């Protein structure tokens, strides 16, 4: 079981949603936090909240699509705290449009840069310090990193890339003391849908899906991630439907496709 007291954790995408909630949870457990995102004002407010809980926190404005920003994030962490015990790669953006309706193909590049390459860059610069501390790497992926979802093609591709990258890295790091956890949430009640990209590559407000019954609260999602980190698990697939879908893809992939179609597209066709 991992003890978080006085351990230094970096969280990307910490200005809202899962990143913010996880920062507050780790702060309550005595962890020292380095919070990264593009929104400096939001970061400073969350850092202040962490400090008020009795721990230390540093906000570092970061655009994870820029390798130099990611390098700066790691350098500032080591300069301020002296070590790195965990890196949570959480920064992410999504999309909601059928592929044939896309008007701006650069949205695929942007999603891949944030969700996948941002994780690669931060991990690259943090890894030497994580090997020294025998620390923990966390990738906040998605159930779409396990199977494709219509209207989320670019998002699913980026999460599949994350899954493959961190699975490969886990094997490379065997024997080093560094553990790699890949987290695959389903629908979570966060504000990511207020920044989801549409056909023209611009953010649009979609809100939570109407009538959606399987939306997990941010509190439950955070608690599951925290427990998985505490136990230094290799993988966390949230929800029974997510775990069932993982097995159906192996033994009855066409059935899974039909189920996903009925759930996501049948009402639109």
pLDDT of residue 211: 44
- Percent of the chain predicted with pLDDT > 70: 92
The answer to whether 151 and 193 are in contact (CB under 8 A) is no
Phi, psi of 196 (to 5 degrees): -70, 145
Query: What pLDDT, in 10s, does the model give residues 63-95?
Result: 999 999 999 999 999 999 999 999 999 999 999
**pLDDT at residue 262 is higher than 90:** no
Rounded mean pLDDT of 146-159? Answer: 94
Rounded mean pLDDT of 164-189? Answer: 94
**pLDDT at residue 4 is higher than 90:** yes
Closest of 177, 187, 65 to residue 120, by C-alpha: 65
Domains of the chain: 8-238 (3.40.50.720), 240-269 (no CATH)
Question: Looking at 80, 121, 155, 261, which residue is catalytic?
Answer: 155
DSSP classification of residue 216 = B
**pLDDT at residue 210 is higher than 50:** no
Whether 116 is catalytic: no
**pLDDT at residue 139 is higher than 50:** yes
**pLDDT at residue 124 is higher than 60:** yes
* pTM for the full predicted model: 0.92
DSSP classification of residue 144 = G
pLDDT of residue 265: 76
**CA 63 – CA 73 distance, rounded (Å):** 10
The answer to whether 139 and 236 are in contact (CB under 8 A) is no
pLDDT of residue 260: 87
Query: What's the mean per-residue pLDDT of the chain?
Result: 91
The 3-state DSSP composition of the chain as helix, strand, coil percent (nearest 5) reads 50, 15, 35
């Amino acid at each position: 079981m991992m003890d978080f007291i006085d351990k230094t954790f970096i969280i990307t995408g910490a200005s809202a949603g899962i990143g913010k909630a996880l920062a507050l949870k780790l702060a309550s457990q005595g962890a020292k936090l380095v919070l990264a995102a593009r929104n400096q004002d939001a970061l400073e407010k969350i850092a202040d909240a962490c400090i008020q809980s009795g721990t230390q926190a540093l906000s570092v404005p970061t655009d994870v699509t820029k390798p130099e920003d990611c390098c700066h994030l790691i350098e500032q962490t080591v300069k301020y705290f002296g070590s790195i015990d965990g890196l949570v790669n959480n920064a992410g953006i999504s999309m909601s449009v059928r592929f044939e309706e896309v008007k701006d193909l650069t949205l695929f590049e942007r999603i891949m840069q944030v969700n996948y390459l941002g994780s690669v860059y931060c991990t690259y610069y943090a890894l030497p310090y994580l090997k020294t501390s025998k620390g923990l790497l966390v990738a906040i992926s998605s159930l779409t990193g396990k199977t494709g979802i219509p209207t989320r093609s670019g998002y699913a591709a980026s999460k599949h890339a994350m899954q493959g990258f961190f699975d490969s890295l886990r094997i490379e790091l065997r024997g080093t003391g560094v553990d790699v956890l890949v987290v695959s949430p389903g629908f979570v009640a966060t504000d990511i849908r207020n920044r989801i990209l549409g056909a023209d590559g611009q953010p649009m407000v979609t809100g939570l899906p109407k009538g959606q019954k399987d939306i997990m609260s941010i509190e439950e999602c955070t608690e599951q991630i925290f427990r998985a980190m505490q136990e230094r698990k290799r993988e966390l697939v949230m929800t029974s439907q997510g775990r069932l879908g993982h097995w159906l893809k192996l033994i009855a992939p066409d059935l899974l496709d039909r189920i996903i179609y009925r759930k996501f597209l049948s009402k639109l066709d």
